[in-house]
Structure 1
Amino acid sequence: MARDWKLPRNGSCRCGALGFEVTTAPAITAACHCRGCQKMTSSAYSLTMMLPEDGFRVTSGEPVLGGLKAEEVQHFFCPSCLTWVFSRPRRIAGFVNLRSPMLDDTSDIAPFIESWTDEKLPFAETGAPESFPQFPPPEAFGSLLQAFAERGDGTRGG
């Protein structure tokens, strides 16, 4: 059963200079254990929520491109505190990957999938109900998005 996402939601970077608003429910939530995310977050994994682009807008500040400046993804940071706030994956047009811990209220958000468990640190546990050694195969995305929409969040059992 789909749930109420308490929209709109607001958030910001660590210093508050870069603010944003989310006006639509995420397509999915995730944790990524890849070495790149470990290094960019200085942590065991990064947390993200994939949002339709028209449901996300920067409300204050001007994000700057940083991190890995690759063709396949653009990472955006606050120019003041250098917090990684969101990414735009070019191969998935029309979506923004927001770092979910940047939201003011994260009390009801958990990862539904975890990716790159092949590179996971031994102690890192997310509780995500779906797990993949790398990225989920493209043919799995449709059923994952549907399962997330039906469950409504990343928690086990809804």
Structure 2
Amino acid sequence: MSHKVKGHCRCGQVEIEVTATPMITMACHCTGCQKMTSSAFSLSSLFPSTAFAIISGDPVIGGLHGSTRHYFCGHCMSWLFTRPEGMNDFVNVRATMLEDSRAYKPFVETYIDEKLEWAFTGAVHSFSKFPPADKFPELLQEYAQKIEPEFIE
């Protein structure tokens, strides 16, 4: 389904746009995400790279500087999106950067073994680390059937 949503960093210097509904929405409880967000977890939505564009501004790399790249606004330092290692066809957008971020409720939560005991996301599925690779297609299909229709107006 075609779907267009804009987003931006806190100061507005970097604007982004997605032109599809998310493939899946997630919350990550790992201590790295806790530190980068200064919060209990990070929220993200996975999109095909072809459905993601930087409309204005020049994001900078922050956080991890290896194969997985985290992109931030160079001015306000908002964490905007991640290009996960080995997943060049996808971009993981920080859901709170998108318009109406309330629509991006996490479907999956990861790294619950590092979760702060009081943090609650309401995610349908929870994993101690990441979902096993063989389970990911099933999760994408379940998300598309149960959640994606909520994005259709």
What range describes the TM-score normalised by the shorter chain of this pair? Answer: over 0.9
Cα distance, 1:18 vs. partner? 0.3
Equivalenced residue count is: 149
TM-score, structure 2 length as denominator? 0.93
**Match of 2:21, as an amino acid?**
A
* Letter aligned with residue 76 of structure 1: Y
Q: Tell me the alpha carbon deviations over residues 47-89 of structure 1, each in whole angstroms, 9 at most, x when there is no partner.
A: 0000000101000101111112122x10000011011100001
Deviation of the 1:91 alpha carbon: 1.4
Q: What residue in structure 2 maps to residue 14 of structure 1?
A: 10
Equivalent of 2:92 in 90, 97, 101: 97
TM-score by length of 1: 0.90
Name the amino acid aligned to 2:59: P
Q: Greater strand share, 1 or 2?
A: 2
Q: Equivalent of 1:128, from 119, 123, 127?
A: 123
Percent identity, aligned pairs only? Answer: 48
1:152 is displaced (CA, Å) by: 2.2
Match of 1:29 in 2: 25
CA drift of 1:26 comes to 1.0
Give the superposition deviation at 1:106.
Answer: 1.5
Q: CA deviation at 1:109?
A: 1.7
Are the aligned partners of 2:28 and 2:43 in contact in 1 as well (CA < 8 Å)? yes
Aligned equivalents of 2:102, 2:40: Cα separation in 1: 20
Q: Which residue pairs with 1:81 in the alignment?
A: 76
Partner of residue 117, structure 1: 112
List alignment gaps of at least 5 residues for structure 1.
none
d(CA) in 2 for partners of 1:144, 1:57: 25
Q: Identify the residue that residue 42 of structure 2 maps to in structure 1.
A: 46
Runs of at least 5 residues in structure 2 that lack an aligned partner in the other structure: none
User: Structure 1 runs of 4+ off > 2 angstroms?
Assistant: none
8 Å contact from structure 2 (residues 5, 99) kept in 1? yes
